[in-house]
Amino acid sequence: MKFFVDTAEIDQIAELNDLGMVDGVTTNPSLIKKSGRDILGVTKEICALVSGPVSAEVTATQADDMIAEGRKLGQIADNIAVKVPLTWDGLKACKTLRDEGLMVNVTLCFSANQALLAAKAGASFISPFIGRLDDINLDGMSLIEDIRIIYDNYGFETEILAASIRTVNHVLDSARIGADVITAPPNVIKSLASHPLTEKGLAAFLADIEQTGQKIL
């Protein structure tokens, strides 16, 4: 499973990228606002830092305007994935931009039927939002499972990009079901390394070696 990091903070991306934990990056208008950076400038910097897909989202809502914005974003770098919303206009933009050879990430997906439409429109990635479904007492992971079954049934090449990841269990469940990609904030990715028994065991080892008075260096 590929790991995308969901942020526009360059330092956080660089830290994870140096460890080989970044297969791509996703951004959105909210993350751009949080970074305080210019959307074109920070996107260009991210694209230069990582080799994998970098999702940059359009801000228009009409198909023709989305297409124009997508073309401009696509000029930033070869690894841009233009991010469009899962609306009828977004699907129109997806089809046109894909026909022109650009990667497209269709975002804000909340149903398997929406995911089916995105695949038919040629989306490179579909982004189902797990956490936001959980927020309204629906099972976000069931959506990932439904999309996996449908895509496998018909051989769709659109990659399932599990988004709105809130917890380490979201990552685990996405991997079990077979999501192609997860995108998560840096703190969630780092949390995957944490376990109380690891910390307890390390403390015991350090205490024991300290009692021997030995040092390696």
Give the per-residue pLDDT at 187: 96
Spatial neighbors of 215 by CB under 8 A, at least 6 apart, are: none
19-43 pLDDT, tens per residue?
999 999 999 999 999 999 999 999 9
Residue 59 lies in a domain: yes
Counted domains in the chain: 1
Q: Which of 33, 34, 44, 83 is catalytic?
A: 83
Residue 217 lies in a domain: no
**pTM (2 decimals)?**
0.94
Range of the domain at 142: 2-212
95-141 pLDDT, tens per residue?
999 999 999 999 999 999 999 999 999 999 999 999 999 999 999 99
Percentage of the residues of the chain whose pLDDT score is greater than 90: 100
* Averaged pLDDT score across all residues of the chain: 97
Quick one: average pLDDT of 199-208? 96
Residue 80 lies in a domain: yes
Can you give the CATH number for the domain in which 148 is found?
3.20.20.70
Quick one: average pLDDT of 43-47? 97
Give the per-residue pLDDT at 191: 97
Q: Is 190 a catalytic residue?
A: no
Residue 149 lies in a domain: yes
